[in-house]
Structure 1
Amino acid sequence: MLTNVLAKALRDQGRALLGWCISVALLIAMYVAFWPTVRDQPSMSDLLDQMPEAFRALFASSGADMSTPTGYVEVELLAFMGPAAVLMYAVGSGAGAIAGEEDRHTLDLLLSNPVSRSRVVLDKFLAMTAGTFLIAAVMGVALVAEGNLVDLDLPAGKVAAAMLHLALLGVVFGTLALMLSASTGRTGISKGVPALVAVVAYVVNGLAPLVDWLADIQEFSPFYQYIGHDPLRNGLDGGSVAISAATAVVLLAMAVLGFRRRDVDA
């Protein structure tokens, strides 16, 4: 098992992943249960329109109408809670991939086996990516399956596109955490820096329509690649997918290089 780092990583996070999947399914069930009440209360959309413009820009897609299934899901789930859940898992998994092994004093045992440092980083990345995509997939399946029970009708293809963009958002920040974990061996830094970058990126993307100088850098925000093209309405955006994937590949290469050059504490 120690020589198969990917299998070890998946085994180590198996129970946690199961907990995440159950929690996500329950989260979706909560939002689905609220849908009939929101649908039958037109004042909810009016309340959204009365919110301060900056608040609305941060927590609601442009033109979102909470009286429609798509608008409701965009505001209640995709704008904040969905990304928050996926990022919490991905960043935690990426940060613990190397630094967590060092904290538990198991990394030296792992590296004493016939596996290269590059292989360790790559397999840890694959495990984090698999977990992130699994959580996003559970979220998407729960949205469609549970939503059908209360007439929260969403096109399965558009939901799949939104979940793919969401998973890639998680992978980008998870790989950033992995890069810091591999390069520094510090769990705190590996979690704190991606969290800070995520908050800044979220604010930049949300307030860009209101602030001219933020509009100039909006497309550099991973959140723009995630939600800027409104995948729940418009489907998959190939350019955004390519940018997110390329960003993760660059960060992965930096993680491999950083880990290969670093002295590892026993």
Structure 2
Amino acid sequence: MLANVLVKTLRDQSRTLLAWAVSLALIVAMYAAVWPAVQSQPSISGFIDQMPEAFRSLFATSSADMSTPTGYIQVELMSFMGPIAVLIYAVSAGAGAIGGEEDRHTMDLLLSNPVGRGRVVVDKFAAMALGTFLLAAVMGVSLVLEGRLVDMVLPADKVAAAMLHLALLGVVFGSLALALSAGTGRTGLSRGIPAVLAVLAYIVNALAPLVDAFDRIHQVSPFFQYIGHDPLRQGTAWDSVLVSAATIAVLVALAVAGFRRRDVAG
């Protein structure tokens, strides 16, 4: 057993990360392959404009022009599929970080090494965060390189900004899953609660322009920090980055405190 929990965790996740990376590159390739057909059908943007406003808001398409590469990717990838993929990975990694070790009855062996509980949590968090940022980077590089093959040219700096915010979205909910896993040891609960809260946060942010109650609170939603300022067109919003980073820091601190205070199984 490696005393360096981070290295061990990354090594254990290497095959999973490779599978995720290949899958995301293929998903981007699929959207890139469809782009020429979309580009030749400008009526698609008109069709979207005719949709009910609530439906357009839910899929972040209110101001998107599907006839442009940026608008197309905003609608097809960044509003729904991209966040879903990153959230599934991050929440699963966060939930399994502590609870997974207990389920496999390897926690006692891990803690028998000369590392404290706080170090275990921090290293598990670092592995989850690095994996999430790696997958976002794969998606971003795939968008830029594969897009060029089909004349879907996207500005690399704006894509990088969007991927930064996407990765932070994943790490926020992954950190919540980690905090629940560290505090309870229950993997299912640690997956379920972040999943439900992610859906609620998405709905609150998407419907804020239409629902007064949501409009008053949507700026605290992690989805607002992710896409509320349209990073694929406007670039990085550093205030949102700071809010996300602060949220992550609080959740990791709660994870450390929760893990230190409870009895550990296995």
Same fold (TM over 0.5): yes
Give the CA deviation at 1:113: 1.2
1:237 aligns with 2:237: yes
Kindly provide the CA deviation profile for residues 145-188 of structure 1, in whole angstroms up to 9, marking residues without a partner as x: 00001110110000000000000000000000000000000001
Counterpart Cα distance in 1 of 2:241 and 2:252: 16
User: After the TM superposition, which residues 179-198 of structure 1 pair with which residues of structure 2 at under 5 Å, given as runs?
Assistant: 179-198=179-198
Identical aligned pairs, as a percentage?
70
Q: Give a deviation string over 1:100-134, Cα, whole Å, max 9, x none.
A: 00000001110111110000000000000000000
- What SS does the aligned partner of 1:64 have? coil
Q: Map residues 1-266 of structure 1 onto 2, 5 A cutoff.
A: 1-266=1-266
Other structure's SS at 1:13 match: helix
1:265 CA displacement: 1.3
Contact 2:165–2:226 (CA under 8 A) maintained in structure 1: yes
Q: TM-score, normalised by structure 1?
A: 0.99
Task: Give the AA of the match of 2:247.
Answer: T
Paired residues of 2:53 and 2:62 also in contact (CA < 8 A): no
How far the C-alpha of 1:31 sits from its partner, in A, is 0.2
Q: CA deviation at 1:52?
A: 1.5
Aligned equivalents of 1:46, 1:129: Cα separation in 2: 39
Q: Per-residue CA shift, 1:5-45, capped at 9, x if unaligned?
A: 00110011000000000000000000000000001001211
CA deviation after TM superposition for structure 1 residue 50, in Å: 1.5
Q: Which moved more, 1:16-25 or 1:55-64?
A: 55-64
- CA distance in 1 between counterparts of 2:265 and 2:149 reads 53
For structure 1, the residue ranges without an aligned partner over 5 or more in a row are: none
Quote the RMSD (CA, aligned, Å): 0.7
Q: Which runs of 5 or more structure 2 residues have no equivalent in the other structure?
A: none
CA–CA distance in structure 1, aligned partners of residues 113 and 219 of structure 2: 43
1:187-236 deviation digits (Å, cap 9, x = unpaired): 01000000000000000000001111100000010000000000000000
Per the alignment, in what secondary structure is the counterpart of residue 27 of structure 2?
helix
Q: Distance in 1 between matches of 2:61 and 2:11?
A: 38
When the two structures are superposed, what TM-score results if normalisation uses the length of structure 2?
0.99
The structure 1 segments of at least 4 consecutive aligned residues displaced by more than 3 Å after TM superposition are none
